[in-house]
Chain A
């Protein structure tokens, strides 16, 4: 599961929707195994548009869960026009590419901060099915 995917996943339990604690899920840093795939191509225009759609506070929380506290506190404001990106902006975008698209959680677990239900990631695949009593 790519790091970016964590920005779109909440708890599957519908009763948790009334809480603000069901997103993002809380990742157990001691149990999560990360892998970086450098083959994933850097495409600035794609990433700029994705960046527009992500929730930065959730990126910060999950990164911190996984031991990365070096991200800027606010979402970087980058030039929308790819050709006009400064060198500094290019570097920021490349770092985001490494984090969001090249980094995957291949094994691990995460839980809902509201209900405490734990979900597992095995062989890169997160399983968000609920046991019958929670469905």
Chain B
């Protein structure tokens, strides 16, 4: 089911990578900044999928409610600035009043829905919150990313899983030196009467064997925990689902969602559309 895939490859992942992801998201994109600054004094808007809230205080003259499906990211936003108006909500079931807001933005969000039908439905749902004539700025990742290091380009599969590598947390804990082999000294038997020496040696050997077994067990446990750490390291790569938009596709989706396309463009590996609520 589409929503189960989104739970696994979008919702869960963003909560797991929230704080690391948030550290990498601080630079506002110029066209988004312009869109926000173009809004009039006292306008009210929504930012659907606001993440850590980097667009919430671009223009202090507007009142923006930011929402995200990830409570981890919303907590990051609240920690960054406790004056942000943020809440946790699903983009398909938004709690905002209908036909109320002057504008909406959704930056790098719509591409996470796993079917075209759901992406159109999501655009339509956000638009339902906007007043007639209000504008909605949408950014989605482009298939055409010729110049970027990821190298996505025309003709490739558009539905992809994009890795997020979490920073390693416990560096340097595995630098224990190789254990020294202990040379075992034979016991001094001079104080033991000769007739007891055989028994003494038997017991000594038994004790040594026990010690050796314990040592072996310890080594095994260490080996296991080392393996576990390796697995955790592999586990630190998380995959997020993306639909990479080809040229013209976002406009088509906005029209299917019942909007009028006001303008459109390409910026930093993304397609964007300003759509108008009809």
Chain B nearest Cβ from A17, distance in angstroms = 7
Known: A46-B42, A49-B42. A128 touches B97 (CB 8 A): no
Nearest-CB residue, chain B, relative to A48: B42
**Partner of B90 from A48, A52, A123, A129 at Cβ < 8 Å:** A129
Residues of A within 8 A of B269 (CB): none
Residues of B within 8 A of A52 (CB): 42
Interface presence of A4 (CB below 8 A): yes
Interface presence of B65 (CB below 8 A): yes
Q: Are A12 and B89 in contact (CB under 8 A)?
A: yes
Interface presence of B16 (CB below 8 A): no
Q: Are B95 and A10 in contact (CB under 8 A)?
A: yes
Interface presence of B96 (CB below 8 A): yes
Q: Are A129 and B69 in contact (CB under 8 A)?
A: yes
Most chain A CB within 10 A, of B44, B75, B101, is at B44
Contact string, B190-212, partner A, CB cutoff 8 A, digits 1/0?
A: 00000000000000000000000
- The CA-CA distance from A1 to B69 in the complex, in Å, is 17
Q: Are B42 and A8 in contact (CB under 8 A)?
A: no
- The CA-CA distance from A135 to B98 in the complex, in Å, is 18
Q: Are A9 and B96 in contact (CB under 8 A)?
A: yes
Contact string, B117-153, partner A, CB cutoff 8 A, digits 1/0?
A: 0000000000000000000000000000000000000
Q: Are B42 and A45 in contact (CB under 8 A)?
A: yes
- The CA-CA distance from A37 to B82 in the complex, in Å, is 11
Q: Are B78 and A128 in contact (CB under 8 A)?
A: no
Residues of B within 8 A of A91 (CB): none
Size bin of chain B's contact surface = 20 to 34
Size bin of chain A's contact surface = 20 to 34
Interface presence of A125 (CB below 8 A): yes
- The CA-CA distance from A128 to B100 in the complex, in Å, is 18
Chain B nearest Cβ from A82, distance in angstroms = 11
Q: Are A126 and B42 in contact (CB under 8 A)?
A: no
B68-119 interface (Cβ within 8 A of A): 69, 71, 74-75, 78, 82-83, 85-90, 92-98, 100-102
Residues of B within 8 A of A126 (CB): 87-88
Q: Are A10 and B97 in contact (CB under 8 A)?
A: yes
Interface presence of A115 (CB below 8 A): no
Nearest-CB residue, chain B, relative to A25: B95
Residues of B within 8 A of A85 (CB): none
Nearest-CB residue, chain B, relative to A4: B63
Nearest-CB residue, chain B, relative to A5: B85
Known: A49-B41, A125-B74. A8 touches B100 (CB 8 A): yes
Contact string, B21-56, partner A, CB cutoff 8 A, digits 1/0?
A: 000000000000000000011111000000000000
B residues with CB within 8 A of A = 40-44, 61, 63, 65, 67, 69, 71, 74-75, 78, 82-83, 85-90, 92-98, 100-102
A residues with CB within 8 A of B = 1-2, 4-5, 8-14, 17, 23, 37, 40, 45-50, 52-53, 123-130, 135
With A46-B41, A125-B74 already in contact, 12 other A-B pairs whose C-beta atoms are closer than 8 Å? A1-B87, A9-B87, A9-B97, A12-B90, A12-B95, A14-B93, A46-B42, A52-B42, A124-B78, A124-B82, A127-B87, A130-B90
A-B contact pairs, 6 of them (CB 8 A): A12-B89, A40-B83, A46-B42, A47-B42, A53-B102, A135-B92
Q: Which 7 A-B pairs have the closest CB atoms?
A: A49-B42, A128-B95, A127-B88, A128-B89, A12-B95, A12-B93, A126-B87
